[in-house]
């Protein structure tokens, strides 16, 4: 099994090392990841600047390829120009901090997996629920187990699995749940500060407003110490609104031509 | 009616000027846009650096606020720290180049509108189908008409309208269609070049593979000279796969605790 690993925390992060170590037990691993941290870049891609590919070593051994771009860039150039043929699966992570509810929208980790899904490659994004995780081991083992399941069940093209793992030792994990994206959102706050020259600048902080209270949502499941697995896709059409908007009669907005 | 205008091409772009001019006829307009071009940044937000707010003038008159961040940053800080109270609607654009099919995922224009939807503010993203558009006038007029419709119909919270307008004079527009996100995707190519020092660098190009042939898709509608209006949302759950994945029995992946 050919496995491509990427992330958004950068190729030198602890999470990607833990993931690569575990996945090497079940397949032929290629690591292609951003040279520097790319958290919260969403699904950005680099078009106005060129990319560079650098070989990256760890403790004297070749570890993977560093790209001076975004997570989505890594998947695109990784599959097209480094691997040349698509891998059997892409696994992105292990991210520091959960990517549940609204955070899925901002996440670079998820966008690497989503870019793979766009390229018709099955993909998993994996995050641990702590910004300084203590327990990558279980998340890495779980990623390997889920990788085997995804390949076995032939996950539908265009879908990726977004996985969030509580930052706990294995014996404290409550179980594994299939979930939906939660509705919790950030109450953003921009802290106003002054620079040494007296000019204002603004720094984003905020609090996640917990709007989920059912185990079938990613956000609540991880709060209750479950591993959450959410299938997500990139068809953003709101079909419910599509149906109700038929009554808006948009066709009347311009003179129809015969 | 309070209208917040943003974009991803930057506050000095022709498209945002055309949009502001037309929307000022129907409401109280505030322009808050990136200081520099932010195309293809997706839904990136700035967390590792602070933001600055600069007043921006055009021909000696105050035009709006420039933010040295992403489109999504502009909406967040614009509503929280500049406007203080949410506008009645956010309109993002007018973008140079269509944001149909897979391009919705990469688009900064769409992400500004999506950030508004996340903040429970109705929103429209508007693009013209040409990288150097000749006909902003009709797109601007259409945006004003649609803005009135959105407020009148009370568009559902969490949904935004993604609008694509052919780059044509009004009399050549075939009509207006309610559409779904198309399935056309890019066949990416990274051009390999050498820098003056002999080192390789790679530049993203590619061709959009036309996979849409029905007027009910955004991509095909604009190809046929129709204005396309697509309702999109930020619930990324793939409900169809969610249902089929119940048979995977993920609960068996870890020992359940009693």
pLDDT tens for each residue of B75-103: 999 999 999 999 999 999 999 999 999 99
ipTM passes above 0.90: yes
Query: Cα(B34)–Cα(B93) distance, rounded to whole angstroms?
Result: 12
What tens digit of pLDDT does each residue of A31-52 get? 999 999 988 888 999 998 999 9
Is residue A177 situated within a structural domain?
A: yes
Say if A113 is an interface residue toward chain B (CB within 8 Å): no
Among A199-208, A249-258, B61-70, the range scoring the smallest mean pLDDT is A249-258
**How are strands ordered across the β-sheet holding B2-6?**
B53-58, B61-67, B28-34, B2-6, B89-96, B123-128, B159-165, B226-233, B175-178
Measured at the alpha carbon of residue A124, what is the angle toward residues A119 and A130, in degrees to the nearest 5? Answer: 135
Structure confidence by residue, pLDDT tens digits, B172-201: 999 999 999 999 999 999 999 999 999 999
Residue of B8, B99, B103, B106 to mutate for A, most A C-beta atoms under 10 A:
B106
Q: How many residues in chain A?
A: 258
Burial of B7: CB neighbours in 10 Å, binned 0-12, 13-18, 19+ = buried
Give B201's strand partners. B193
Cβ distance B201 to A111 less than 8 Å, yes or no, reads no
How much is the mean pLDDT over chain B? 95
Give the tens place of pLDDT for each residue, B195-212.
999 999 999 999 999 999
Query: Is the per-residue pLDDT at A2 higher than 50?
Result: yes
CATH code at position A134: 3.40.1210.10
Give the residue-averaged pLDDT of A53-70.
96
| B5-17 mean pLDDT | 97
What is the reported pLDDT for A129? 95
Q: What is the pLDDT of residue A11?
A: 98
Q: Do B176 and A250 touch (CB under 8 A)?
A: yes
Q: Do A102 and B81 touch (CB under 8 A)?
A: no
Residue A190 covered by a domain: no
Give the minimum alpha-carbon distance from A52 to chain B in angstroms, rounded to a whole number: 5
**B178 in reach of chain A (CB within 8 A):** yes
How many angstroms separate the CA atoms of B99 and B6, rounded?
Answer: 16
Bridge partners for A31 per DSSP:
A5
Residues 6+ apart with CB under 8 A from A247: none
Give the per-residue pLDDT at B2: 98
Say which residues have a Cβ less than 8 Å from residue A60's Cβ, sequence separation at least 6.
Answer: none
B189, B197 contact by CB (below 8 A): no
Would the pLDDT of B256 be above 70? no
Nearest to A43 among B45, B105, B155 (CB): B105
What domain range includes position A218?
Answer: 2-182+212-253
Please indicate if any CB of chain B lies within 8 Å of the CB of A207. Answer: no
Question: Rounded to whole angstroms, how far apart are CA atoms A117 and B157?
Answer: 28
Nearest-Cα distance to chain A for B252, in Å, is 8
pLDDT at A255: 53
Give the tens place of pLDDT for each residue, A122-132.
Answer: 999 999 999 99
A47 touches chain B (CB under 8 A): yes
Residue keyed to tokens 């600069």 = B54
Q: What is the pLDDT of residue A257?
A: 42
Residue A204 lies in a domain: no
Distance from CA of A123 to the nearest CA of B (A): 14
User: Which tens digit of pLDDT belongs to each residue from A214-232?
Assistant: 999 999 999 999 999 999 9
Residue A206 maps to a domain: no
Residue B197 contacts A, CB cutoff 8 Å: no
Q: How many CB atoms lie within 10 A of CB A247?
A: 7
pTM higher than 0.90: yes
In a domain, A36, yes or no: yes
Question: Is any Cβ of chain B less than 8 angstroms from the Cβ of A214?
Answer: no
| A53: contact with B, CB 8 A cutoff | yes
Residue B152 has pLDDT above 50, yes or no: yes
**Cβ pair A128, A95 in contact under 8 A:** yes
CB distance B138 to B176 below 8 Å: no
- Model confidence pLDDT, tens digit, residues B17-44: 999 999 999 999 999 999 999 888 889 9
Mean local confidence (pLDDT), A61-67 = 97
Query: Which chain A residues contact residue B106 at CB under 8 A?
Result: 43-45, 72
Q: Is the pLDDT of residue B258 over 50?
A: no
Q: Is residue B200 in some structural domain? A: no
Per-chain mean pLDDT for chain A: 95
Contact B242 A180 (CB under 8 A): yes
pLDDT band at B255 (very low <50, low <70, confident <90, very high): low
Q: Is B7 part of any domain?
A: yes
pLDDT at position A40: 82
How many angstroms away from the CA of A113 is the closest CA of chain B? 13
Q: Given pLDDT bands bounded at 50, 70 and 90, which one contains residue B223? A: very high
The count of C-alpha atoms lying within 13 angstroms of the C-alpha of B144, restricted to the half-sphere facing its C-beta, is 18
Q: How many domains does chain B have?
A: 1
Residue A201 in domain: no
């Amino acid at each position: 099994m050919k496995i491509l690993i990427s992330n958004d925390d950068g190729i030198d992060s602890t999470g990607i090392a833990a993931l690569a170590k575990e996945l090497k037990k079940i397949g032929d691993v290629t690591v292609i990841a951003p040279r520097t941290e790319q958290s919260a870049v969403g699904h950005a891609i680099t078009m106005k600047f060129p990319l560079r590919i650098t070989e990256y070593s760890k403790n004297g051994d070749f570890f993977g390829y560093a790209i001076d771009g975004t997570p989505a860039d890594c998947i695109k150039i990784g599959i097209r120009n480094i691997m040349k043929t698509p891998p059997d699966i892409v696994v992105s992570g292990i991210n520091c901090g959960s990517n549940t509810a609204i955070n899925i929208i901002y996440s670079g980790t998820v966008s690497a997996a989503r870019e793979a899904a766009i390229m018709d490659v099955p993909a998993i994004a994996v995050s641990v629920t702590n910004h300084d995780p203590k327990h990558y081991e279980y998340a890495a083992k779980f990623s390997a187990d889920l990788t085997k399941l995804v390949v076995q069940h032939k996950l539908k093209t265009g879908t990726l699995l977004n996985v969030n793992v509580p930052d706990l030792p294995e014996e404290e994990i409550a179980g594994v749940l299939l979930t939906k994206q939660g509705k919790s959102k950030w109450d953003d706050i921009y802290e106003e500060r002054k620079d040494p020259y007296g000019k204002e600048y603004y720094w984003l902080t905020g609090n996640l407003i917990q709007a989920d209270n059912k185990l079938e949502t990613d956000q609540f499941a991880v709060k209750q110490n479950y591993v959450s697995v959410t299938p997500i896709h990139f068809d953003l059409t709101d079909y419910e609104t599509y149906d109700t908007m038929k009554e808006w009669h948009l066709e009347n907005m311009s003179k129809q031509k015969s």
